[in-house]
Chains A and B, each alone.
Chain A
Amino acid sequence: MKWMTFISMVWASVAQANTKTSFMPPAATEIAGQVDNLYAFLLWASLIACVILIGGMIFFAMKYRRKSANDKTAYITHNTFLEFLWSFIPLVIFLFVFGWGWYIYHQMRAMPKEALEVHVYGKQWAWEFVYKSGKASTNEFVVPVNTPVKLIMTSKDVLHSFYIPSMRIKQDVVPGKYSALWFESEKLGDFHVFCTEFCGAAHSLMLGRMKVVSQADYEAWLQENDEGLTLVQRGAKLHNDKGCVACHSVDGSVKVGPTWKGIWGATHQFVDGGSALVDEAYIRESILEPNKHIVKGYPAAMPSYQGQLTEEQLNAMIEYIKTLK
């Protein structure tokens, strides 16, 4: 497919100006740039097609508008040559676009042999990342710049889809299966990670943050740990890392579950009519057995964190909640 590369390059120079106005997020990989070129081509081709169809329609409608009630119209049943043209030309264009799309898709699907491999788990409603060193993080995805990164992904519950708009990549994350993605970012910076497969109440809050950093910063990040943090700081970190943030805000805004702001010492009303004071015991129960008591006005959506948090981490969470006034 050498010729494809050639055409892409020629077009790239033509399309350079367009990509800024095409509303795509800034492209961070070489393939993303190719996608944008194809997109720019299609935008122009579409524009021309619409001008022909819509413009032609308006032109004819104006030119041949009825002048009198007994206008004579031309009796034209068909024109084989014209019909051939407007079947054949679109076909050629469509097939050209098909080939171009395939060429890009093929590069997206061809996994590099030497790549930094990261395991990704989708779960309701957070992204978990596990690195070779054993380092694990939630919703925070740190990768070095100019390095091919391969994601090996699976889901712990329902379908999710891993999507980084700036990389122009997306892949469904399926329970019971591995799927893979790769990219090589040329840019430093922060990028959004979205879930694009409907996965329940907090689907739209399943947001990850990808940080592309220098190799040195990446190494340093891998070494980071919780030592030296206060209990409250650890709690704040857990709020993010364990995915609590998807459903529980700390600023009073309404998400899937109750906000944590000001709940310490408050009284929660339950759907079964009971109520409880929010204290250490109640928070512990809410985390480990979330569906034992359901707070009025909220769905029974929270999974249990039994076995996923140490005693120290539970205490850190409680101390953190105490500070949210």
Chain B
Amino acid sequence: MGSAAGKNYINEFAGLKSWFTSLDHKRIAILYMISVLTFFLVGGIMALLIRAELFSPGGQFLTGDSYNQVLTYHGAIMVFMVIIPGIPAIFGNFFLPLHIGAKDVAFPRLNLASWYVFMFGAALAVSTMFTSKIDTGWTFYTPYSIKTGTAVVTMVLAAFVMGMSSILTGLNFIVTTHKLRAPGMTMGRIPLFVWAIYSTAILQVLATPILGITLLLLAAERIFGVGIFDPALGGDPVLFQHFFWFYSHPAVYIMILPAMGIISELITTYSKKTIFGYTAIAYSSIGIAAVSFFVWGHHMYVSGQSEVAGVIFSFLTMLVGVPTAIKMFNWLATLYKGSITFDSPMLYALGFMFLFAIGGVTGIMLATLGLDVHFHDTYFVVAHFHYVMVGGTLMALVGAFYYWWPKMFGKMFSETYARLSFVFIFVGFNVTFFPQFVLGAMGMPRRYFDYIAPYESLNKISTVGSWLIGIGFFIVLFNLIHSLLKGAKAPDNPWGSKTLEWTVQSPPTHHNFDHDPVVTAGPYEYR
């Protein structure tokens, strides 16, 4: 079924209905892209509100209660609706089948259903904004979440539903990776992005059910008062934290592993050089995924868990640091003797390495028992996870947008504006979050609506930084929309990449490959 000239997955079928009923993984990826970007805008506005409120001590335009609500929505939206689905559901969906030479994911109908389930959960979550809201923080810690008068039940059910979507996406990707690889595409030849998405999928499938049952129990706690997490009824609120972090720590790697996969793609492409240590990077993804199940207690050094537990969790956390270090050094070695360009996706990749290095070393500080007692629940933690989640995942996400945009839409974008957006986001990010390390060292606790006078100047700097990030993201948005409307036609392979998606036309046809590909070498054969 050769494609007629000019036919691609976008124009092959017309009408909104053809989008909402499409089983094409590429169209579903676009559905996810639009929804995730919308939620990102909402979550981002919440972040700007938080920073604006913290510009000065005391209440500016929010009250203690409304601040806590904004904070909770920022966290919950960014975690459950942006970062967790972000890279896997957009780029995983679009490029996993292309990367392994498949025509689609294993279960296309399930794939579309996952999007509907996700949107249903997201709608539930957003609906609470218009009812009694929620103010527990995204972690829903008991017993506050049992006692507060806000819409906790709706919100946890929303998170449960979105978790289900995440599970379905994950299992779809696992089976796709196992069963749909093109002839010759051995596991040793799949691109590292696929390894990352695959490791992530394993985490999604194995960790999310625990979150599911935890959230159901929390809902039962509120509706029936079953007492499992309620100290007033003989339950243990700390048990909730164990259950919660048993999911939510692997979830941290659900957020970062796909980003690492993207960085491997970007660095090889823009260095025009084969990846250094393919096996090490691939296995380190799996290693991170495996060990991440046993480190949840490092969120709980001061929760009242025993000293022995703290010691074990600290030890295992240090072990997770090793595969992460391996990846960093391998990327560095990939640059060595390469032919490096500074196209905007590469700038984001280098920016990722810069920020992730800082996020990584501060992670080691937080994993250290005696030191974490001081840093726990201070701005040091806030700064650390923003360096990893925003500096890491979001940098990779924007980099991926620029990298794959020509393939996805067949249009080029303005390189000048792309570089400009990088400058704003990168500089703004450091201005926003570096001072927060210092605030944390000084002892400013997180989730603070108000703070004492000595913390004021650094908070002001941080707020100014948030405006720069905001401008940066608007430039990205403007650039991409402008590209859709006025962009030059993109060639099939504008960057000279070697992976399979660049061998097909831009944008790809409905069936991806006109002739089933046969693979005879690894993914990064730059010789």
Contact = CB atoms under 8 A, between A and B. Distances in A.
A45 B371 CA distance: 15
A105 interface: yes
B341 A194 contact: no
B175 interface: no
Interface string A85-108: 011001100110110111111101
A253 B57 CA distance: 11
A177 B231 contact: yes
B368 A97 contact: yes
A287 interface: no
B318 interface: yes
Contacts of A254: 58-59, 63
Contacts of A109: 307
B503 interface: no
A159 B447 CA distance: 14
Contact of B442 (A23, A86, A103, A300): A23
Nearest to B303: A172
A163 B447 CA distance: 14
Given A64-B338, A76-B337, A174-B237, A195 B445 contact: yes
B370 A108 contact: yes
A224 interface: no
A76 B275 CA distance: 8
Main secondary structure, interface of A, reads: mixed
A169 interface: yes
A215 interface: no
Interface stretch (B90-98, B214-222, B374-382, B510-518): B374-382
A148 interface: no
A126 to B, nearest CB: 15
B409 interface: no
A87 B326 contact: yes
A73 B337 contact: yes
Interface string B139-181: 0011110011100000000000000000000000000000000
A256 B332 CA distance: 51
B51 interface: no
Contact of A90 (B237, B307, B321, B342): B321
B64 A174 contact: no
Contacts of A103: 370
Contacts of A169: 373-374
Interface residues of B, number: 92
A34 interface: yes
Contacts of A300: 149
B374 A98 contact: no
B276 A97 contact: no
Q: Which of B142, B350, B354, B370 has the most CB of A within 10 A?
A: B370
B449 A60 contact: no
Nearest to B370: A104
Contacts of A175: 143, 231-232, 237
A301 B302 CA distance: 27
A168 B373 contact: yes
B271 interface: yes
B63 A170 contact: no
A34 B368 CA distance: 13
Given A66-B272, A196-B377, A163 B147 contact: no
Given A64-B338, A168-B374, A198-B447, A174 B231 contact: yes
B59 A255 contact: yes
B527 interface: yes
A201 interface: yes
Interface stretch (A47-55, A136-144, A237-245, A308-316): A47-55
Contact of B64 (A22, A165, A255): A255
Given A57-B350, A204-B448, A100 B368 contact: yes
Interface string A64-94: 1111000111111111001100110011001
A299 interface: yes
A202 interface: yes
Given A57-B353, A78-B278, A105 B373 contact: yes
A280 B338 CA distance: 81
Nearest to A73: B273
Contacts of B58: 253-254
B445 A34 contact: no
Contacts of A104: 369-371
A290 interface: no
A176 interface: yes
B10 interface: no
Nearest to A199: B144
B322 A42 contact: no
Interface stretch (B18-26, B248-256, B309-317, B397-405): B309-317
B365 to A, nearest CB: 5
Contacts of A271: none
A109 B310 CA distance: 11
A24 B441 contact: yes
A202 B135 CA distance: 12
B325 A87 contact: yes
A205 interface: yes
Contacts of B370: 34-35, 38, 100-105, 108
Interface stretch (B76-84, B356-364, B460-468): B356-364
18 contacts: A23-B441, A35-B374, A46-B361, A54-B353, A57-B332, A73-B338, A83-B277, A95-B318, A104-B371, A109-B307, A158-B147, A170-B302, A170-B377, A172-B238, A174-B303, A176-B237, A192-B452, A194-B443
Given A105-B369, A175-B231, 13 more contacts: A46-B364, A57-B335, A57-B354, A64-B339, A66-B341, A71-B339, A72-B339, A73-B337, A73-B338, A86-B326, A98-B314, A98-B315, A175-B237
Can you list the 9 inter-chain pairs with the closest CB atoms, starting with the nearest? A104-B370, A176-B231, A165-B443, A71-B339, A101-B368, A105-B369, A46-B361, A204-B448, A201-B64
